[in-house]
Amino acid sequence: MKFTLLFLSFLLPLLSVEVRLKDIARLDGLRENQISGYGLVTGLLNSGDTKSPLAQETLKNYLKNKGINVTENALTKNIAAVMITANVPVYAKPGDKIDVTVSSIGDAKSLEGGVLLQSPLKAANGQTIAVASGVISFGGKDDKIYNLNRTRPKTVGFIQGGGIVEVEVQPSFFNQENRYKLILENQDFATLDQVNKAILETFRAEKVTTKVLSPTEIEILIPEKLEPVSILARLENIPVTPEYKARVVINERTGTIVMGANVTVDEVAISKQGISIVIQNPNKPYWSREPDQIEHVMIVKESTTVSDLVKALNKIGASTKDVISILEGLRKSGALHAEVIVQ
């Protein structure tokens, strides 16, 4: 099986592009809030829970609240117990609609065609923030899970606009001191220093001051006579050129390898299960294995990028597992100058 290579050339410092500060950082206090709840899905076509006591008790309690007492086993294959999750946007107002995700927690085979009964969604402190209900959808047509010859089980779906916000979540953002905190998404001292200097240069006339609090945090103090909204609007649109650490991210399940253009490989010889590759100085004689296996030898220049290495491995039919083990070996030997992340 061949693998997919996603080569992110924009990570190379020489080829990096400018981005807005809002795309790599956020202001402290402006964030989404997670909420969750428990509910019951009905209307399933004999694909619901068959053994789950949760669905049975939930149905009995729901009917009891409607004035209907059920003493016998009311569980049918048309209902399923589910968990409901959602994110509440910053400063969402009562009445705003949000998308919710519904997932089965019992032995239901499928939630397709089901309807979520009205369920409360609570924050971590137990406060009810929203309620959710509606018809569950899955989007798109049946697909295959990676390389398995079976369709994806429809036990996780979503309801677009199925949640209604009941309580406004107000973060403590605006303050009397006009003191705000900027947080970088990724820790990098070069980017941190660049952002700090860009802020001071942009607001030199306004006499805005900054203070680095940590490797990812910058405190911004706006003079009281200035309107903070105008300053923060300009702050978010400051152009910067971020720098990133060299990383190789591998997803073995999907056969995907994502790497930065600044990832390089030193001179090294690799041999694994019939695969031989040479990375060497073109002035030096190449290294090879047995004569009968010479067709597997490929020569690549010294200090090549990982993209050249992966292309060479792909040409000779290396599997994703081969590439993963080779990249891990290169990292441990010190020949691969990057962090390898296997998912």
pLDDT of residue 6: 45
Give buried/exposed letters for 53-83 (b at 16+ CB in 10 A, else e): ebbbebbbebeeeeeeeeeeeebeebbbbbe
pLDDT of residue 4: 47
What 277-280 contacts at long range (C-beta under 8 Å, 24+ apart), as own/partner pairs, is 277/309, 277/312, 277/313, 277/316, 279/304, 279/309
- Give the integer Cα–Cα distance in Å for 198 and 22: 13
Q: Are strands 217-221 and 209-214 parallel, antiparallel or unpaired?
A: antiparallel
Q: How many C-beta atoms surround the C-beta of residue 163 within 10 A?
A: 29
Find the mean pLDDT for residues 73-94. Answer: 85
Of the listed ranges 64-73, 190-199, 212-221, 232-241, the one predicted with least confidence: 64-73
Highest-confidence segment of 52-66, 178-192, 271-285: 178-192
**Better pLDDT: 181 or 311:** 181
Find the mean pLDDT for residues 172-193. Answer: 86
pLDDT at 271 over 70: no
Are residues 112 and 156 in contact, defined by beta-carbon separation less than 8 angstroms? no
**pLDDT tens digits, 191-201:** 999 999 999 99
Give the mean pLDDT of the chain. 78
Give the C-alpha distances (Å, rounded to integers) separating 311 from 4, 295, 332, 334. Answer: 10, 16, 21, 21
**Quick one: pLDDT band at residue 73, thresholds 50, 70, 90?**
low
CATH 3.30.1360.10-classified regions of the chain: 25-30+173-240
**pLDDT tens digits, 275-331:** 665 555 555 554 444 443 444 455 555 556 666 776 767 766 677 777 777 777 777
pLDDT at 176 over 80: no
Provide the CB-side half-sphere exposure for 168 (13 A, CA).
8
- Give the integer Cα–Cα distance in Å for 84 and 118: 11
Under 8 Å CB-to-CB from 50, ≥6 apart: which residues? 75, 77, 107
Locate the DSSP E strands across 217-274: 217-221, 239-240, 247-251, 256-260, 264-265, 268-272
- Give the integer Cα–Cα distance in Å for 73 and 144: 37
pLDDT at 71 over 50: yes
Superfamily of domain 25-30+173-240: RNA polymerase, RBP11-like subunit (3.30.1360.10)
Under 8 Å CB-to-CB from 297, ≥6 apart: which residues? 276, 277, 278, 286, 288, 289
**pTM of the full structure:** 0.65
> CA Rg, the chain, in Å?
28
Helices (H), the chain: 53-65, 189-202, 228-236, 306-315, 320-333
Under 8 Å CB-to-CB from 139, ≥6 apart: which residues? 158
Three-state DSSP class for 69?
coil
- Give the integer Cα–Cα distance in Å for 113 and 110: 9
**Better pLDDT: 77 or 237:** 237
pLDDT at 83 over 60: yes
Helices (H), 139-205: 189-202
**pLDDT tens digits, 91-149:** 889 999 999 999 999 888 889 889 999 999 999 889 999 999 999 998 755 544 444 44
